A and B are shown apart, each in its own frame.
Chain A
Amino acid sequence: MAHNELILTDVTKRFGGLTAVDALSFTVTSGQIYGIIGPNGAGKTTVFNCITGIYKSEEGSVNWRGEEIRGLTPYQIVDRGIVRTFQTIRLFSQMSVAENIMSGRHIKSKQSWWHGIIHTPASRRDELENWHKVEEQLDFFNLNEFAATPTGSLPYGIQRRVEMARAMAVEPTLLILDEPAAGLNDNETLGLLETIFKIREKGVTVLLIEHDMDMVMEVTDYLTVINFGKKIAEGTPAEIQNNPAVIEAYLGSEDDDE
């Protein structure tokens, strides 16, 4: 546990002439709920994509548990215990909730490729064990009644829960949530807060991007604020709330937006 740290050092990601993330550094330590906030287009999701291997940053280092993970593929990063959700929910929409969560068990399943052709007693046992793990997630996220329902036909709030359940089925060490409260009503957001705290109790570190300021202030232990890809502040929620640079960049621009 001592070394479950994610350290970003001078991470820079450019798209053509645009620098989406500019020499960003921050450290997420074990057991934290860490927030990244910033106005629209500040580069938050790009940071997540750099951590999870969807993009490779041009410069800097992404260090996880003492290992450099910049340049690894997404599935290699999942294998190291980092799992993410998406801002725009990405579920396997024709498939049922249980089958979606089962995808999270893929990396833990001990079946080989040839078990797809011939089953053995060991592969059947493995299959059953993993369905039981799916059952645990269905219970944890209170999704039992939707187990056999295609996810595409479910309301938005429930789809969000399915996506988190799928990520938790991997049994991650670090869970990355990209705007988990987007599109949720107040009730659902409260439920989400509770879930995030329960996930932390399981020993999972949580890194999240959020727009909902009330929620960020309530749920996170520590925050980094970015604007135009650069860090403009970091600190506890209380410190951030009183930081003039943040108020100007983030809260100010929010007024302009809406």
Chain B
Amino acid sequence: MKNLERFGFPAFIIIMAVLPNLLDPRWQAVAITFLIFTVVALSQDIILGKAGMFNMGQALFFGMGAYITAILNSQYGWPMLATIPVAILLPALFGILLSGPIIHLRGDYLLVVTIGFNIVFVQVVQNNLGGITGGPNGIFGLDSISLFGTQLTSQISVYYFAFAVLLLTLGIMRNLEKSKVGRALHYLREDQLAAESIGINTRLYKIFAFGLGAGIAGLAGTVFATQYSAVSPEAFEFIQSVLFFSIVLVGGSSIPGILLGVFMMFVLPEIFREFATWRFFIFGFAMILAMVLRPRGIWPASFGKIPKFLIKESNHGA
């Protein structure tokens, strides 16, 4: 398992780096969406997997990032890349403001409230709030990304943009794991009272998880808007949140788990597209089987990654 992680990760990076050159345009598009969904699923993992909060509204933050990019670009003429800071910070701020009053709610109650938020968001953009969201059709004809004066119009360049965002997200996930705040999220998920009694302000860290998760999802939204040069409300419906939620549960709260989860829940259905509706039948059974056989996910979070100097030979013969 350890070797698999050590060699598996660089192998994954290399494969993903050369992948688009081996694919036809349709599969390139699937690969880009795979990258974007992985970023969103990782952001959902911070909230659901690490901090253990039943957030069923992650598509809201994803959509908010996409819409911010689309609106700033189409209405105000901002270059796509310039919209990124706003597409991260505004959803993050919303994550903090929305979660603040509801963070004390337990499991299922929080779940219902976040579904509500998601539905309100979709209603707002569908009803063309302030005349800038484009109503049910969304916003079309966004610019492509321009970097150092070159227009990155090809699908391959969008792929590498998405890939860069994934690498950035993986870097954040790694830093989070080896930091005080990342551990605090694990502690409060495992036992909130114990965490509080050892000095952790659980409310603060839960809100932090929402803010960070929302910010990363917002960034993924920018990439999504870039891929399609468009945004529309149905891409951010509540059912999309269910997908991200299931990915974390089925995959498990770890980076390989999330990758496997996105592969199973998004790429496999694409591969078996020719089987039409049958694929969802099999897909549903695969989900059931995964949860029955591996209740903590296919590749659950692993602990005990502690500095080497703490692991000593046992020095008594007993």
Contacts and interface: CB of A to CB of B under 8 A. Distances in A.
Interface of A: 52, 54, 73-75, 78-79, 83-84, 86, 90-96, 98-99, 102-104, 106-107, 109, 111, 113, 115-119, 123, 127-128, 131, 134-135, 138, 144-145, 147-150, 166-167, 170
Given A54-B193, A116-B182, A104 B303 contact: no
Contacts of B179: 111, 115-116, 119, 123, 127
B252 to A, nearest CB: 12
A167 B180 contact: no
Given A78-B197, A93-B190, A116 B314 contact: no
A90 B194 contact: yes
Residue of A52, A92, A109 ringed by the most chain B CB atoms within 10 A = A92
8 contacts: A74-B196, A84-B197, A90-B191, A92-B195, A94-B190, A95-B303, A96-B306, A148-B311
Contact of A117 (B193, B200, B212, B306): B212
A106 B303 contact: no
Given A73-B196, A90-B194, A106 B180 contact: yes
B200 A75 contact: yes
B152 to A, nearest CB: 26
A171 B273 CA distance: 60
B199 A96 contact: no
B180 A111 contact: yes
A94 B307 contact: no
B198 A83 contact: yes
A106 B191 contact: no
A113 B303 contact: no
Q: Tell me the interface secondary structure of chain A in the complex.
A: mixed
A102 B175 CA distance: 17
B201 A75 contact: yes
Contacts of A149: 304
Residue of A54, A78, A91, A128 ringed by the most chain B CB atoms within 10 A = A78
B144 to A, nearest CB: 29
Contacts of B197: 52, 54, 74-75, 78, 83-84, 86, 90
B198 A170 contact: yes
Interface string B68-92: 0000000000000000000000000
Given A84-B197, A119-B175, A127-B178, A106 B184 contact: yes
Contact of B194 (A91, A109, A116, A150): A91
A167 B190 CA distance: 17
B193 A116 contact: no
A123 B181 CA distance: 12
A106 B197 CA distance: 11
Contacts of A166: 198
A104 B181 CA distance: 13
Given A90-B193, A96-B304, A145-B312, A113 B208 contact: yes
Residue of B176, B190, B191, B208 ringed by the most chain A CB atoms within 10 A = B190
A42 to B, nearest CB: 22
Contact of B306 (A98, A115, A170): A98
Given A86-B194, A118-B175, A131-B307, 8 more contacts: A54-B193, A91-B191, A94-B190, A99-B303, A103-B183, A113-B208, A135-B310, A150-B304
A117 B307 CA distance: 20
B172 interface: yes
A144 B178 contact: no
B7 to A, nearest CB: 22
A119 B181 CA distance: 12
B285 to A, nearest CB: 28
Q: When A and B form their complex, which 6 residue pairs have the shortest distance between CB atoms, in order from nearest?
A: A116-B181, A107-B199, A78-B199, A145-B314, A96-B304, A92-B190
A117 B202 CA distance: 18
A106 B176 CA distance: 14
A96 B186 CA distance: 12
A128 B194 contact: no
B310 A131 contact: yes
B309 interface: yes
Contact of A109 (B180, B212, B307, B314): B180
A95 B190 contact: yes
Contact of A75 (B172, B181, B199, B208): B199
B61 interface: no
Contacts of B186: 92, 95, 99
A90 B196 CA distance: 11
B37 interface: no
